Amino acid sequence: MGAGPTRLTMRMLTASGRGVLSGGCGGTLPLPLAASCGSTGHRSYWTIGSQVAPGCVCYNCGMIALTCLIKVVGNATVIDIPSLQVRAGEVVAIVGPVDSGKDVLFQMLIGAIRPTTGSARLVGLDPYQEREACSRQVGVLFADDGLYRRMSVIGNLQFYGRLYRLPKERPTEVLEQVGLADQAHTIAEKLSPGLSRRLALGRALLACPRVLLLAEPFAGCEQASVTLISQAVSRKADAGAAALLMAQDAAGMEGVCDLVHRLAHGRIVESIDPREEQQRQRPFMVPARSSDRIVLVDPAEILFVVARDDRAYLQTAAERLPTQFTLAEIEKRLSRSGFFRAHRAFLVNLQQVKEVIPYTRNSFNLRLKDAAGTQIPLSKAAERELRELLGY
């Protein structure tokens, strides 16, 4: 595993009744059941008999731990998170638009800036005060790939491998993990955006980190790269690491994350289990009437829903169909299918919106993708909400 401190994470009890401390690259150390967790100042530790295992973090304490974390910039509080933990073996995401504060949070986690009050701890270390020690145990994927464009794929990893004093075979192992073994001698600047993202992830995995901090992990990726990156992160979590992903939206997160937190104006406003969310989002049809028959309409085919005389009408590309529901009832049914209340009388399918058109400071319309270029009124309050939702 190369030079540097031994990297250990607490794992579940084995069938033999003994605990196991395992390193991110494999290999285990037996841990007697008498081991216990304690802390000295801000750092967590494990005691094994009468000895302290430095640098180890209690499984229940969180490999990533935010406590009463506040960051004030100028007169604005841009981060206010009372508590957040990511334990060994967990993959958690924080998603939010550009002004949500996630970029400031990322800067605090990598030790670039310090909190105003509260604390952030990665494997028990303060990333600002103990930045060098932290860098040896934390793998970081930045929003920008940051590759040496004129070096080969393997050359990029070999360069960092020498810095970390890793075994010579380690870069080759990582290329296998990120699906780039056949691209080893390709110049980095010739890689597609998805393959570049895989290589940048490989650099984050190179030193067998105990914690992963991944900014926009799927940026520019085609589906094959999204799947492969997800698999690589999941394998790392299965080996005992903790991973925190940060992105503008939750696209692609459902296959890898245990929990997704939504951040707005520096606060966590919602926490979602993607697997439970998928179960709730099972396909369904909306019943409507056409002459003397019942028509079942796929939500994806609906352009918008409009209220007339206390009844909701579904507008598709072909026809307008009356339903037995009010607009509020339809909104509840479609709330998890990408529909947005643009106006008191209109519910619009955001997947069908082409552009937002401002006419005056307080007057907006949404233009749809249909052949007629249908325009839907957008209220001032709804425009603010939509801007926050989409981050434009």
Distance CA 89, CA 256 (A): 12
pLDDT at 63: 94
Domains of the chain: 9-53 (no CATH), 64-279 (3.40.50.300), 286-390 (2.40.50.1020)
Distance CA 228, CA 215 (A): 16
Sign of the torsion angle spanned by Cα atoms 244, 245, 249, 250:
negative
pLDDT at 392: 76
Q: How many CB atoms lie within 10 A of CB 322?
A: 14
pLDDT at 62: 81
pLDDT at 293: 87
pLDDT at 160: 94
Sequence-separated (6 or more) residues with CB below 8 Å from residue 358: 364
pLDDT tens per residue, range 199-218: 999 999 999 999 999 999 99
In this prediction, the residues of the chain whose per-residue pLDDT falls under 50 are 1-60
pLDDT at 61: 56
- The single-letter code of the amino acid at 46 is W
Sequence-separated (6 or more) residues with CB below 8 Å from residue 387: none
pLDDT at 36: 33
pLDDT at 3: 39
pLDDT at 277: 63
Task: Report whether 10 contacts 59 (CB < 8 A).
Answer: yes
Question: What is the widest separation between alpha-carbon atoms in the chain?
Answer: 82
